[in-house]
Amino acid sequence: MMNFLFKYLDVLTIADKAMFAIFAVMFVLAVIFRILQENKKKHMILYSLYNRLFVGFLVTSVVGAIWAVMRYFAIPYLGIRFVAVLIYISFLTWFAFVVKYLATKFSTEKQAWDQEELKRKYIK
């Protein structure tokens, strides 16, 4: 039974390696957004934007890494490429909501925040 569940896949295709690389790049982007988030703790609008990006990229890269392990060990059903496509589709759906937020609400929230900070600066 263990051989059935964790059978070693002899040949990983170029597509598999490309998907592994995309998930690795997403993890690096998550780390970058986390660093940016830590640098913007006082600016709540940018902090929340970087937090959204951090969480989305991190979750996608971790789920992708789990898929990559399942693909590497040729675990049936969970290691198929269709699961990776579902992961990418869910990422793109999440990313569409982030882009919608950036296009509609972000600029007005940022301007309001900057004006409030300017008021606080001169009140002190």
- Write out pLDDT tens, residues 64-92: 999 998 888 877 777 788 888 899 999 99
Q: Which has the higher per-residue pLDDT, 4 or 122?
A: 122
Residue 116, CB half-sphere, CA atoms under 13 Å: how many?
10
User: Mean pLDDT across the stretch 36-62?
Assistant: 91
Task: Indicate the number of domains in the chain.
Answer: 1
How many CB atoms within 10 Å of residue 17? 11
Q: Rounded to two decimals, what is the model's pTM?
A: 0.80
pLDDT value of residue 110? 84
Q: Is residue 14 over pLDDT 90? A: no
Tokens standing for residue 114? 């900057």
Q: Is residue 63 over pLDDT 70? A: yes
Most confident among 20-34, 38-52, 98-112 (mean pLDDT): 20-34
CA of residue 57 relative to chain centroid, distance: 1
Range of the domain at 20: 2-123
Q: How far apart are CA 36 and CA 42, in angstroms?
A: 12
- CA–CA–CA angle 89, 95, 100 (5° rounding): 130
Q: Is residue 62 over pLDDT 60? A: yes
Cα dihedral angle (98, 100, 101, 107), rounded to 10 degrees? Answer: 130
